[in-house]
Structure 1
Amino acid sequence: MRGMWFLFTQVDQLWLSVVLLVPAMFFASFPMPTSTASILVLTPNQFRAQISSIFLLISSLVGLGIGTTLVALLTDKVFQNPLLVGHSISIIGAFATVCTIVLLKTGCQHFQKSMQVEHAESPLKS
């Protein structure tokens, strides 16, 4: 069931929907502290507040603004039936999951390279 959270709108029983959704909601907050910390590790002291605020602004705009708008557009323009909003949520959720995996893989590779450069240039080598 792990990784299939977006199917919570496709099941008929409430208990099964909750079983699919609860782990997703529990783990949903995990990336925020680590991503914020990783950005701050590579950012110079003078720019940490600005970079942190830009990161939070963009993640909020994308998550809250684009995600909900895509669900509404898919429901209104493609399905043309408000009763099929669950299908729209599942489709956008699956698409967002695939995008997240691709972005995470790419971002981790770049972060690892940046950390290697940072440690190579650090005057405090161990």
Structure 2
Amino acid sequence: MRLKTLTYTSRARLDLGDEDLAAIHQTARHLNALDGISGLLLFDGSRFLQIVEGAEDAVDNLVERLRMDSRHSAFEVRDERQVERRSFPDWSMELVRVSAGYCNARDELATILPSAVAPSVRELVFRMTGRLAEA
């Protein structure tokens, strides 16, 4: 079965608090599990980077909901492709808080990413983390 994977970045609302972040994570885990979506959500304190993967319709519907979510802005799709298998099969949505600096974030992610993550996805995460640090 072909799957769609999509990566986006966005800016968190200025007053986004820990409770908001916890709510985002809990809701994403619950709804994504129901929709057959898995992925990774990175947060550096002011910006999000998320990779989602699943059936094309499910991913497209999620993106529509995300675009309307007032807890973030400047939503920008960075990568979109078809894949044969999931990179995050055991994560309905894993939240990882990273340091804002690229080197620190890369080191943190290297220890967290599942070993099953394809090298191309791993490099995409590292590359996108670098872009977060530059923004």
Higher Rg: 1
TM-score interval for Structure 1 and Structure 2 normalised by the shorter chain = 0.3 to 0.5
Between Structure 1 and Structure 2, the one with more strand by share is: 2
Between 1 and 2, higher relative CO (CA 8 Å, sep ≥ 6) is seen in 2
| TM-score with structure 1 setting the length | 0.33
Between Structure 1 and Structure 2, the one with more helix by share is: 1
| TM-score with structure 2 setting the length | 0.32
